[in-house]
Structure 1
Amino acid sequence: MEGGKMEKLQQQQYWRAVRSLLSYKNATIVVCLLNIVSALILLQGFLFPSPSSRLASSSKALYRNIKESEDIRRSMVPVDLIRRVREIRKDVSVESEPVKQKDVKQTAAEDLISRLNNFHSYSDVGNVKALEEWRKRKMERAKQRSMLWN
């Protein structure tokens, strides 16, 4: 029985120790210490901000500066001038196409004339006359087309 009494006595002593630790006085001291530690942490955050918060504020300022510079750059772009240059380029490209076609047609006509001149020496008179008439008709049509373009 002594073993049972010893265990009971040990349990009672344990509970007394726990009660003494959980007294109002000790609980008040622990709560005060936690308040002091949390106040120090908050004070440190206000007095000495972390590099990440400084980085966040500087990145906001940097973003604001970048956006402002982009707005300034966009406002400086000569939109009207660019539009007018594009219109002029379209007009020039439309006008230059017939000129290119005329050049191609002119070279084709010259090539045909040279072939006809070479052909004169090898062909008979009837073929030469027919070719000359065909050439004249082609030249007249080309002149009429060039007049339409102008």
Structure 2
Amino acid sequence: MEGQQSWRPRLSFRSATIMMCLLNLITALLLLQGFLSSATSRSKLSASRLNSAALRYVRESEEIRFAMRPMELIKRVKEIQQETNAKPETVKENDSRQTVAVGLSKRLKDLHSVNDATSFKALEEWRKRKMERARLRQLEKNGTLATQA
């Protein structure tokens, strides 16, 4: 009986709970360490595979981009640039075009200002007629009110 009594105070529910929590914590840490070590070894293997695959992909994409370059268009653009640098006569043509454009813009502005003046006159006449109608209506209302009273 004394042997049984000596064990009871040592093994309480509180101490049993603490022991179980410590065992669970140690187990979790060991599992986590195993998982992380296997993941890093897998990532090292897959990283080397990915690097070679990624490099191959980059090379292929650069080759495709280079093959899709419009070489004829690039040559033609360079020819046009050389032609524009070689011809000073085009400057005179551009100047004449520019003067024509300036003349057209002035004519359009003049036409716009004439239209604005006529529009303004028409608007003023409309306002006068509107005010006159409103004044007549007001007089009619005042007249009908005055006759009813």
TM-score band (shorter)? 0.3 to 0.5
Q: When the two structures are superposed, what TM-score results if normalisation uses the length of structure 2?
A: 0.33
Higher relative contact order (CA 8 A, sep 6+): 1
Q: When the two structures are superposed, what TM-score results if normalisation uses the length of structure 1?
A: 0.32
